[in-house]
Amino acid sequence: SGEALVPEAAWWRTERRQQLLALGAQATPRYVYHLPTVRHQARELKTLAAVDRLHYAVKANTHPDILRALAEEGFGFECVSPGELKAVMAAVPESAPLLFTPNFAPREDYAWALNTRATVSLDSLYPMAHWGELFRGREIVLRIDLGRGLGHHEKVRTGGSGSKFGLPVESIDAFLKLADAHGVIVRGLHAHLGSGILDEAHWGEVYSQLASLAERIGSVAFIDIGGGLGVPSHPGEARLDIAALDRVLREVKAAYPHYKLWMEPGRYLVADAGVLLARVTQQKGKGALRYLGIDTGMNSLIRPALYEAWHEIVNLTRLDEPVTGLFQIVGPICESGDVLGTDRRLPEPQEGDVMLIAQAGAYGKVMSSEYNMRDAAEEIIID
Ligand code: LLP
C-alpha cells in the first residue's frame, strides 16, 4: 500500500487553523468542509485509467457546493432516494450522469426516477415480478450479491445472506426470465460489498466476478464495482494506493475490454475534507476517568456510537500545548453511548476551548439527528 497517513499535514492543522479557531469561537457546533481537499481527492481518483466513469455516492455528504465541485471534476452522481436525486438535480448541470440505486424502495420511487434522466438499478426479483409494466422497454442495472461482505464494521458490510442488499447469484436466471417477459434489458451489473475497504485487490475480484457473470448474460455494456474506498482513520494505517488499484483494474480490463468500468466512491472524496467543531462545556472526574464535555455529540456525529468509529480529536485552541491527561470526550445527549472518543491524550482543557473532530466530512451531517432537540450543526464551506 501507499505512504502512511501523515496527520501533521492535514489542512486543518496547518494553513486553515486560525480560520477554524475563529469559526469555532463564533458558534458551535459547526461542520467545516474544505473544498480543495474534495477536489484533490477527486483528481486522484481521475488518475484511474481503467475506470470509464466515476459516480459520487451522494449519501456521504449532500452539501450543494460539494456536489457542484464534483460535477466540475466530471463526476456523475449515485443517489439512493428521490430526495438525493432532487438535491443533485438542483445543484449540478444537466449533463452530469445520474444513477439511482435504491434498496427496498416503494414502487412510487422507481416510477418517479424513471421519469428523470437517471439510470435505475434493481436488486431484487420483486419489482420485476410485481411492477414489471413500470420497467417495460427500459435498460436497467442489476445489483448482484456476490455472497460476501467487507468493510470497517459489521454494520457497513453489504453482501452475504446476512445483508439485505443485492440479488443472489442463484436468482439471476429467474430475474432474466422476468426481464425478458417485460422487454427489460440488463445493461449494467453492479456490486458494492461494503464501506471502508483498504485492500486494492478487492475491486479487482469484484470486477472479474461481475465480468464473468456478464459474459453469460450477454446484454451487459458496463460494470459498476461499487464504492467502499477507505481512508485510514487510525494513525499508522496506510492509505489506499491508487496506482496499485489502477494496475489491479487494468489487469481485469485486459481480459474483458468490451465492458465500460464504473465506480461510485463516497467516503474517499469527502471524509478528510470535513471537520466538526465543538466547544468545551464542562469536565468531570469519576473514578479513574476524566470526562471532557463538548457542546455536541451523537446528535451531530453518530459514527463513534454506531460503529465504534475512531475520529481523531484535538483541542484546536491548545494544539501546541503539552498533553496532561487522558480524557473521555462526551457530548450533551442523554445516552451513555454519547461518547465521541475514548482515552484521548490532550492538553489541560478550559471551558470554551475549540475542539476539532477530524475526518467528519463523510457520513457526519447526513446521519445527524434532532435527538434531545439539540441545535443542528451548521455547515460552512471554505475554498
Ligand atoms: N455504493 C453503494 C451502493 C453504497 O451503498 C455505498 C455506501 C457507496 C457506494 C459508497 O460507499 P463509500 O465509498 O462511501 O464507502 N455510514 C457508514 C457507511 C455506510 C455506507 C453505505 N453505503 C459509515 O459512516 O462508515
Q: Is 265 in the pocket of ligand 1 (CB under 6 A)?
A: yes
Burial level of 199, CB count in 10 A (0-12/13-18/19+)? middle
Q: Is 363 in the pocket of ligand 1 (CB under 6 A)?
A: yes
- Residues catalogued as catalytic: 334
Query: Can you give the residue range of the structural domain that contains 378?
Result: 271-382
Question: For residue 333, which amino acid is it?
Answer: I
**Which secondary-structure segment (H or E) carries 277?**
strand 274-286
Nearest CA to ligand 1 atom 9: 227
**How would you write the pLDDT of the chain (383 residues) with one tens digit per residue?**
334 344 567 899 988 999 999 999 999 999 999 999 999 999 999 999 999 999 999 999 999 999 999 999 999 999 999 999 999 999 999 999 999 999 999 999 999 999 999 999 999 999 999 999 999 999 999 999 999 998 999 999 988 888 999 999 999 999 999 999 999 999 999 999 999 999 999 999 999 999 999 999 999 999 999 999 999 988 778 999 999 999 999 999 999 999 999 999 999 999 999 999 999 999 999 999 999 999 999 999 999 999 999 999 999 999 999 999 999 999 999 999 999 999 999 999 999 999 999 999 999 999 999 999 999 999 999 99
The answer to whether residue 10 sits within a structural domain is: no
Cell of 255: 481480459
* pTM as predicted: 0.96
Which H, E and C letters describe 313-339, residue by residue? EEEHHHCCCCCCEEEEEECCCCCCCCE
Do 214 and 78 have their domain in common? yes
Residue 22 is assigned to a structural domain of this protein = no
Residues 205 and 278 in one domain: no
C-beta of 220 in contact with ligand 1 (< 6 A): no
CATH number for the domain spanning 338: value is 2.40.37.10
Residues 223 and 236 in one domain: yes
> In terms of domains, do 76 and 222 share one?
yes
Same domain for 164 and 290, yes or no, is no
Cell of 153: 464494521
